[in-house]
Chains A and B, each alone.
Chain A
Amino acid sequence: MTIQAPLNTAAAGRGPLVYRQKLMTRLTHWVWVICLFFLLLTGLQIFNAHPVLYIGHESGFEYDNAVLRIGAVNTPDGPQGRTVVFGQNLETTGVLGLSGSESAPQYRAFPSWATIPSFQDLATGRVVHFFFAWIFVGTLLIWLVASLINRHALRDLVMGRRDWRGLPRDIASHLRFRFNHGRSYSPLQKLSYGLVLFVLFPLIILTGLSMSPGMNAAWPWLIEIFGGRQTARTIHFAAMVGLTLFFVVHVAMVLLAGPINEMRSMITGWYRTSPGTERAEGDKP
């Protein structure tokens, strides 16, 4: 059986090709993809050196201020991966605490496929992490200045009154996998990109800096904002979880909304809009 693509009708029913993503947006986007890939996997490597998160200035060894603890325990059925979140015990054998094969079990918090290097190596994790942290921060600053000048930040990312009013409807249509390909971002896109760029990115950078004893002396106020070095470490981890969730949903949306068109817009800048989109100067048919 062959399916004939209704080429003519599709062509007739297409919206214009619009120049949607500026060069700076596209460049910084892909630099961040590379940075966040390495930052995530080396971050998990660093976390594995002490796989416990606490609240406060210090780590409780003679008292308990832990909110997350990943490890392994011995049970009558043999060793098990055990993750304790806010006092809740979860069995996480295979992924967290205990991974690898039955013949070669590995006792590590995050499994070897989720860390760089794949083996335990805190020193290398730190070298790679800090290198990409610098690139990440530098790119964010360049992006911020450029986006304030070319108005990308205020025009495309800050939620206006119309965006807030349109948000419930946009969420509903996203949940039904109906995507309107407009000239600019939909309200839900604005909200999620804005949260990533203006909340999660600064949060993960500032909590990262809060863990530096040098920065604690240079900017003593910073660590007070977050309520102590160990709380900052916990928030750093939580921001990572947030960014990872965003990444999963973001990639899923790209795949559902038309990966060729979405990738094209992030590589060349040109984006095929939905039928009925009004034409403007500079568009292509």
Chain B
Amino acid sequence: MSDTPKSGLNLTRRRLIGLGGATAASLVLSGCDQFDFLGQRDHPVRDVLERANDLTYRVQRMLLGQNALAREYSPSEIRQGQRPNGSVDPTADDYLALKAGDFANYRLSITGLVERPQAYSLAELRNMPAQSQITRHDCVEGWSCIAKWTGTRLAPVLDAAGVRPEARFVVFHCYDRMPAGLAQPQPYYESCDLVDARHPQTILAYGLNDQVLPVSNGAPLRVRIERALGYKQPKYVHTIELVESFAAIQGGKGGYWEDNGYDWYGGI
């Protein structure tokens, strides 16, 4: 480079600087709507950017190990009720019928790639070994709320059904319906890998802050996956399905919010 005639270099530099300046100025002047294309869920550039989420998932799984625990808090740190968010009062007919009967007829089904499909009433779930944990719920929007969750661990429930070796994901199907643009509202669903499903703090929660889990927080049953964001904690769960792939379920991305552009892992 030092051999290049100086005048020529200067010209190129000026041009380069001028071009750079013009680009920067146009970016600032016209605002940021020229990056609005990134909002298109199937845009190829967005596909590339989304690969960073796979990297995050892999790296965090490596750092986390199987059983690293989410922080637990002391009872004195519960200073308020658990803030309800998303669906707070489902209106699906089947749910309303169950609610009218105080969930006496509720059944949690364990289906899909299992040796022995199961169905449990709420009383049966409550009779399983119980576990309580005071943890922090982190919403993807940015807020946090500390509450005490009581339930039974998911891992023994899966073991009782006998997870088949080809199963890779656990899908949670819910009673609440979510808006889906112009189409019919779609049921909320979520999924996680078997590491999170078997994690010691992953519970099927039926109690909140020493009370029966209220409807606004997911009655009668909500999943707690404590190392993930709030949208990974599905409420109003009626079916747990073991699958090899969730590509054929609804939008194919493994969850209602995932189908709407959010990352599947949800650990950050």
Interface status of A205 (Cβ within 8 A of chain B): no
Assess whether B32 is in contact with A61, with CB atoms less than 8 Å apart.
no
Given A214-B267, A216-B70, A267-B17: A128 touches B136 (CB 8 Å cut-off) = no
Given A117-B39, A213-B227, A268-B13: A52 touches B262 (CB 8 Å cut-off) = no
Contact with A along B19-51 (1 / 0, CB 8 A): 010000001000111011011000000101111
Q: Which of B27, B49, B136, B268 has the most CB of A within 10 A?
A: B268
Query: Across the interface, which residues of A come within 8 angstroms of B38, CB to CB?
Result: 116-117, 124, 127-128
Contact with A along B175-187 (1 / 0, CB 8 A): 0000000000000
Interface status of A166 (Cβ within 8 A of chain B): no
Assess whether B46 is in contact with A211, with CB atoms less than 8 Å apart.
no
Query: Across the interface, which residues of B come within 8 angstroms of A169, CB to CB?
Result: none
Assess whether A57 is in contact with B13, with CB atoms less than 8 Å apart.
no
Interface status of B205 (Cβ within 8 A of chain A): no
Assess whether B53 is in contact with A62, with CB atoms less than 8 Å apart.
no
Residue of B nearest to A112 (CB): B31
Q: How far is the CA of A223 from the CA of B144 in the complex (A)?
A: 13
Query: Across the interface, which residues of A come within 8 angstroms of B39, CB to CB?
Result: 117, 119, 121, 124
Assess whether A218 is in contact with B63, with CB atoms less than 8 Å apart.
yes
Q: How far is the CA of A218 from the CA of B14 in the complex (A)?
A: 49
Interface status of B260 (Cβ within 8 A of chain A): yes
Given A61-B83, A122-B140, A127-B46: A114 touches B145 (CB 8 Å cut-off) = no
Binds B, one of A43-51, A74-82, A86-94, A181-189: A43-51
Assess whether A63 is in contact with B142, with CB atoms less than 8 Å apart.
no
Interface status of A264 (Cβ within 8 A of chain B): yes
Q: How far is the CA of A230 from the CA of B83 in the complex (A)?
A: 16
Given A57-B146, A116-B35, A213-B229: A263 touches B17 (CB 8 Å cut-off) = yes
Assess whether B13 is in contact with A117, with CB atoms less than 8 Å apart.
no
Residue of B nearest to A268 (CB): B13
CB distance from B188 to the nearest CB of A (A): 16
Query: Across the interface, which residues of A come within 8 angstroms of B79, CB to CB?
Result: 58, 60, 62-63
Interface status of B141 (Cβ within 8 A of chain A): yes
Assess whether B70 is in contact with A47, with CB atoms less than 8 Å apart.
no
Size category of the A interface is 35 or more
Partner of B68, one of A49, A62, A218: A218
Q: How far is the CA of A66 from the CA of B231 in the complex (A)?
A: 24
Query: Across the interface, which residues of B come within 8 angstroms of A198, CB to CB?
Result: none
Partner of A260, one of B2, B17, B226: B17
Interface status of A165 (Cβ within 8 A of chain B): no
Assess whether A112 is in contact with B227, with CB atoms less than 8 Å apart.
no
Interface status of B69 (Cβ within 8 A of chain A): yes
Residue of A nearest to B48 (CB): A131
Q: How far is the CA of A63 from the CA of B50 in the complex (A)?
A: 37
CB distance from A252 to the nearest CB of B (A): 14
Assess whether B32 is in contact with A117, with CB atoms less than 8 Å apart.
yes
Assess whether B60 is in contact with A130, with CB atoms less than 8 Å apart.
no
Assess whether B262 is in contact with A267, with CB atoms less than 8 Å apart.
no
CB distance from A60 to the nearest CB of B (A): 7
Contact with B along A81-121 (1 / 0, CB 8 A): 00000000000000000000000000000001111111101
Interface status of B248 (Cβ within 8 A of chain A): no
Residue of A nearest to B33 (CB): A118
Q: How far is the CA of A60 from the CA of B79 in the complex (A)?
A: 8
Interface status of A239 (Cβ within 8 A of chain B): no
Assess whether B261 is in contact with A267, with CB atoms less than 8 Å apart.
no
Partner of B60, one of A47, A114, A124, A214: A214
Partner of B52, one of A119, A130, A212: A130
